[in-house]
Amino acid sequence: MGFEYAMIAVLFGLSTGFIGRAKGSSFFIWFMVGAVLPLLGLIAVIAYRSEKAEPERQCPNCRKVVKLYVQVCPRCGTDLFLPDPSEVRQPAGR
Ligand SMILES: [Zn+2]
């Protein structure tokens, strides 16, 4: 019984880790999540949004590149409103 549970935890850990890594995150962190929370971890990594897939734009004040959902520039504190579509960078490969 314990052995079977360990097998399931490892299998879920591996698949969760591979999905996490494919999304640009850490294999090890997602392996742990998948092993500790077998089904929930897998659902979480599937729902997890890859940072690399987020559109980006530049802060108009200090030119720092930030994700589109960032509302205040982390470098200079400027309020960032929805930018002109021409300023939004779509990541390559989508
Ligand atoms: Zn800024």
Residues 40 and 59 in one domain: no
Q: How far is the centre of ligand 1, averaged over its atoms, from the C-alpha of 26 (Å)?
A: 28
Q: How far is the centre of ligand 1, averaged over its atoms, from the C-alpha of 77 (Å)?
A: 6
Contacts of 32 (CB under 8 A, 6+ apart): 13
Residues 21 and 40 in one domain: yes
Q: Identify the pLDDT of residue 76.
A: 95
Residues 61 and 87 in one domain: yes
Q: How far is the centre of ligand 1, averaged over its atoms, from the C-alpha of 64 (Å)?
A: 6
pLDDT of the chain, 94 residues: tens digit per residue = 688 889 999 999 999 999 999 888 899 999 999 999 999 999 999 888 766 667 888 888 999 988 887 889 999 998 887 656 666 677 665 5
Q: Identify the pLDDT of residue 92.
A: 65
**Cα 78 from Cα 65, distance rounded (Å):** 13
Residues 37 and 74 in one domain: no
Q: How far is the centre of ligand 1, averaged over its atoms, from the C-alpha of 57 (Å)?
A: 11
Is this model's pTM higher than 0.85 or not?
A: no
Q: How far is the centre of ligand 1, averaged over its atoms, from the C-alpha of 48 (Å)?
A: 27
Full residue range of the structural domain in which residue 64 is found: 54-94
Residue 47 gets which letter from DSSP? H
Look at residue 89 and give its three-state secondary structure.
strand
Residues 44 and 58 in one domain: no
Residues 65 and 45 in one domain: no
Number of domains in the chain: 2
- Residue 31 tokens read as 């392996």
* Extended strands (E) in the chain: 56-58, 65-67
